Amino acid sequence: MLRNEVFACFAFYSTLLILKMYTLAVVTGQVRLRKKAFANPEDAVRHGGIQYYRDDPYVERCLRAHRNDMENIYPFLFLGTIYSMIGPSRAVARGHFLVFFLARVMHTVAYLFALRAPMRSLSYIIGQLPCISMAIQIIIAVAAYA
């Protein structure tokens, strides 16, 4: 499978995206510890008392960023896998994968640092463009078989 240069490129960017998601999960955990805002009573008791079983606005922001990643990266993983199989140009495919990756990194930075609007929205929209392009190309490539 890795002899397919497009799929190898996809595997590279997909792995970076998954590592970015893991990093965001670690950041969320660290923010919980720093803010003493735990989602489970047993964690709160372990870290100082039941009073720390509470919500925190910044923890919630981290969780929203993570949820947004899941809503966007999982479909990208599906689309990118199928797209890699339809024989696109390596350069064009790499452009799709790179744009999506950079847009998701920028989206996370904009979310975590509460950057001024419309940074987060623009990065979201830019990240959707390669996904829409891949979806259209997949539909065109497989329409004859459906």
How far from 10 is each of 25, 27, 87, CA to CA, in Å? 23, 26, 13
Determine which of 1-10, 35-44, 98-107 has the lowest per-residue pLDDT on average.
1-10
User: Other CB atoms closer than 10 Å to residue 94's CB: what's the count?
Assistant: 17
pLDDT digits (tens, 9 = 90+) for 55-107: 999 999 999 999 999 999 999 999 999 999 999 999 999 999 999 999 999 99
- The pLDDT of residue 1 is 53
- Residue of 18, 67, 59, 68 whose CA lies nearest to 38: 59
Mean pLDDT of all residues belonging to the chain? 97
> Is the peptide bond prior to 75 cis by the omega test (within 30 degrees of 0)?
no
H-type alpha helices, the chain: 5-35, 41-46, 57-85, 90-112, 119-142
pLDDT attached to residue 20:
98
Residue 52 has pLDDT above 80, yes or no: yes
Please give the pLDDT value at position 39: 96
CB atoms within 10 A of CB 114: 11
pLDDT on residue 146: 86
In the predicted structure, residue 54 carries a pLDDT above the cut 90: yes
Please state the rounded mean pLDDT for residues 29-50: 97
Whole-angstrom distance, CA of residue 141 vs CA of residue 12: 24
Kindly list the structural domains of the chain, giving each domain's residue range(s) and its CATH number in brackets, ordered by start. 5-26+56-145 (1.20.120.550)
Q: In the predicted model, what is the mean pLDDT of residues 117-145?
A: 97
What is the predicted pLDDT for the residue at 3? 87
